[in-house]
Structure formats: C-alpha cells, structure tokens
Amino acid sequence: MTQGPTSLLPVWARTTARRPSSRRQSLHATTAEAMDGEDAHHRPSSSSSSGGPFLSGLCAAALRRKPISARASAAASGEGLVRQLGVLELVLLGIGASIGAGIFVITGTVARDAGPGVTISFALAGAACVLNALCYAELASRFPAVVGGAYLYTYAAFNELTAFLVFTQLMLDYHIGAASIARSLASYFIQFLELIPSVKGNVPSWIGHGEEFFGGVVSVNILAPILLVILTVILCRGVKESSAVNTFMTTLKIIIVIVVVFAGVFEVDVSNWSPFMPNGFKAVVTGSTVVFFAYVGFDAVANSAEEAKNPQRDLPIGILGSLLACVILYVAVCLVITGMLPYTLLGEDAPLAEAFSAKGLKFVTVLISIGAVAGLTTTLLVGLYVQSRLYLGLGRDGLLPSIFSKVHPTLHTPLHSQIWVGCVAAVLAGLFNVHALSHILSVGTLVLKLQNTICNCNTRFGCS
Ligand SMILES: NC(=[NH2+])NCCC[C@H](N)C(=O)O
C-alpha cells in the first residue's frame, strides 16, 4: 500500500488518517488506502517535489482523490445507518428543506421591482435549479449510496482539498442558516403567544425576540436554543421518527400553500397583471438571483443516500420531484399574489399575509403564519439532519475527529455529530443575531451549485 502523506492535516486528523478506526476501514477505503487504485496518478510523487517534505505533503494531501469504486463496498456493507426512506419521504424531505420563509417573504421584495414579472423570476430561477438538480440527480445515481452529497462528489471528481472547502462552505451555510431560522421561528412563536391579550407586550425580549447587549453585538434569546434542542432530540431518536415529523409538517405546509392559492384565485383582478414587467426584463432577471434562495434545499435529498431504501432510483426522483413541486407552487403563489393587488401595494416583509388581510381574508392570514412556522421548522429539521450526515462522512474519512464517525448501534443515527451540530446552532442562535449574515450565504450556495455542476461534467466526461 502506498503511504499517503498526511502532514497537511492537523494532528488529530493525521492520527485518524493513519490509524483508521475499524468501522472506517470497513466502510470506507479512503485516504492513503483509497489512493492505491484509480487515482494514484493524481498524486505528485514526493521525490519529484523540490519544495521539501512539507510542500510535497501539502500538494499530495490537497490532490488526493477518492475513487468512486472505493465507496461501493461501503454501500454494500449496510453497516451504521439504516435504509428506511422511501421515494415519498425523499420528495417530502426535499420540499421540507426548500419551502421555508422564502416564498412568504421574498415574493414581495422582488415584486416591488419586477412587478408581476416576479413570476418569471421564479420560473427562471427554477429552470436554472432544475438544470443543477439534473446534475445532482445524475451524481446521486452514479455514486455508491453513502453519506456526503456535494462533499463526496467533489472528493471523487477533484481532490480532498476542494472537497474540504466544499464542506466548510456547507457548514458555514448550515450552521448560520440553522441559527438564523431558529431565531425567526422563536419570533414567530412569540408573535403567536402575543395574540393572547394578557400576554401581549409582557414577554421579555430575551425569551424570543432577543435582548441586545454590547451595542447589539450579543443578542440573547433562549427560545431559539430550546427549539433547536427539541429538534435535535427528534433527529437523534431515529431517521424514521424525524422523517415522520418532516412528512407531517411538509404536508401541512403544502396544503396551506394550495389553500392560499385557491383562496387567492377568486380575488385576482387580471388588470393587475399589466404591465407584466413594468421595469423591463432586467428587473426580472435581477429578481431571479434573489428568489434563488427560495429553491435552496433540494440538494438535501442527496445527503440521505445512505438511508434511502432504493437510492439509485429514488434519489433522482426525490431531488427532481421536490424541486418541480416547489417550482409549481412558487409560480402559482406569485401569479395569485400579483393578481390580487397592484404590485406597488405589496408589502415587503409579509406580502402574502398583507395581501389577504387587505382583501379581508383574515383566516388565510392565520393559515399563512402557520404555514411559515411549519416551513421554518422543516427547513431547520432537514438542515440539522444534513449537517450531521456530512460530519459523519468527514469523520469516517479521517478529516474530522473519529468521534464524528460513530453511529449509535440501536438508534442508527450519528448521535455525536447530531448533538454537535445542535449545540453549535444553539450557541449561535442563543447569543447572536445572525440574520444579516445568513443572506450573504446565498452567494456561497450559488458557487456550490456551480461547483457541483462542474463535478458532474468532470465525472461524466473524465476531464481530469
Ligand atoms: N441551506 C440553506 N441555506 N437552507 C435555507 C433554505 C431556505 C429555504 N429555501 C427558504 O425559502 O426559506
């Protein structure tokens, strides 16, 4: 066996990479061992390096690649996670991750510029995402069904360094995203509570909305961490349990969106649709880059590869099915909302709810709030789920401490990884208002989608 240089890795990673745990050894023939095969030519020989052992180690570690075949045995062994998710659960997982607060908020922001053309913005962003989803679907069906998603594909298509960068981007997105969503959820709960007259105005801000200290640098909130703990407990209990919660909540929000569309159809005045693009096509295209956020999430399905009953068939269906369902629902909501009111009157923060209150349909407004809560809950739940599976993948590969590679023998969940991601999100959500930061992350997500498309080209056409 060729010895792979590990000097690039931190001490703990070096240790785990050299002396892999027995599970890792059996599940994933990775790192040095994995390089024996098809990717040996990707490693620069250390003797040819003129920059000394450190530089050659650095290059070798950065350039080593995980061969696709090395994962096959992992998928076959079936050890660790259990295959419990059917095609419906996978589609609902994708929808659960995608339909969050985006549709309830972004529509108004973009419609103020793009007018009714926001519908085209959603269709354009949806079309771009469908192309990307096709890449994900192909990668998901081509690869052995193990955890890792985008990280795994990058490891096989490029190298370890790129894969690790993908992981860091994903983690930044998911950790901050989870904290931000948990805070929004906490605020929603307080708003619900404040519907009770005796409670209104009496809830201290440190419970839900956040009490600011040090000039706003720290914003203390206890409800968000509590919600994160509850979801983490559900996720730790088993994939069947968390999938059941996701299925229930996602079905609820789909029904609510459909009811909203049908209730709104009768209020549509077609004259509100002309002009359809008051500020031209440019505003519509600009809008599509913003509404892209609403589609983020379908890729979550790829991360459940190791828990899908029939991954090669069901993952592509789950990825594409959930995205297409979102495109249809989003376009329908946009058409209805821009038909109900002149676009100039649409609110920026809660356009859907405001449009229905303006028409005197208060019950729909309440439904929308319930839909938003269900939406936030499922995006949070699935986000935490995906994170833990990514940590599990990196733990197995020796890129993170081996504690992350452990799967509970009876619950069949990566307990340590799950608790870790819950704790990180809880600390962030409990102490900081990360909302502003979460918006910037869409750019990173966009780059990640591009990266995945390149991965697909790379593995399909063998460019490297
Ligand atoms: N990984 C993420 N950044 N997930 C956030 C998903 C946001 C979701 N699409 C929404 O409209 O609310």
Which of 182-191, 325-334, 453-462 has the least mean pLDDT?
453-462
Say yes or no to pLDDT of 156 above 60.
yes
Which of 316-330, 378-392, 399-413, 450-464 has the least mean pLDDT?
450-464
Backbone angles phi, psi at 218, to 5 degrees: -110, 135
pLDDT level of residue 340 (50, 70, 90 thresholds):
very high
CA of 379 to the centre of ligand 1 (A): 6
CA of 98 to the centre of ligand 1 (A): 6
- What interface predicted TM-score (ipTM) does this complex get? 0.97
pLDDT level of residue 428 (50, 70, 90 thresholds):
very high
| pLDDT value, residue 91 | 96
CA of 60 to the centre of ligand 1 (A): 36
| pLDDT value, residue 29 | 38
Rounded mean pLDDT, 54-58: 68
| pLDDT value, residue 198 | 84
> What pLDDT, in 10s, does the model give residues 437-451?
666 666 677 777 777
Backbone angles phi, psi at 88, to 5 degrees: -65, -45
DSSP letters, 248-316, are HHHHHHHHHHHHHHHHHHTT--GGGGSSSSTTHHHHHHHHHHHHHHHHTTGGGGGGGGGGBSSHHHHHH
**Residues lining ligand 1, Cβ inside 6 A:** 98, 100-102, 173-174, 177, 293-294, 296-297, 379, 383, 445
160 SS3 class: helix
Global model pTM greater than 0.95: no
CA of 296 to the centre of ligand 1 (A): 5
> What pLDDT, in 10s, does the model give residues 99-143?
987 887 788 889 989 999 999 999 999 999 999 999 889 888 888
Rounded mean pLDDT, 207-224: 84
- In angstroms, how far apart are the furthest CA atoms of the chain? 77
Of 296, 329, 385, 447, the one to substitute when testing ligand 1's pocket (max ligand atoms within 8 A of C-beta) is: 296
**Closest of 54, 65, 69, 75 to residue 147, by C-alpha:** 75
Say how far apart CA 221 and CA 223 lie, in whole Å: 6
Higher pLDDT, 93 or 441: 93
CA of 97 to the centre of ligand 1 (A): 7
Of 175, 184, 257, 379, the one to substitute when testing ligand 1's pocket (max ligand atoms within 8 A of C-beta) is: 379
CA of 434 to the centre of ligand 1 (A): 14
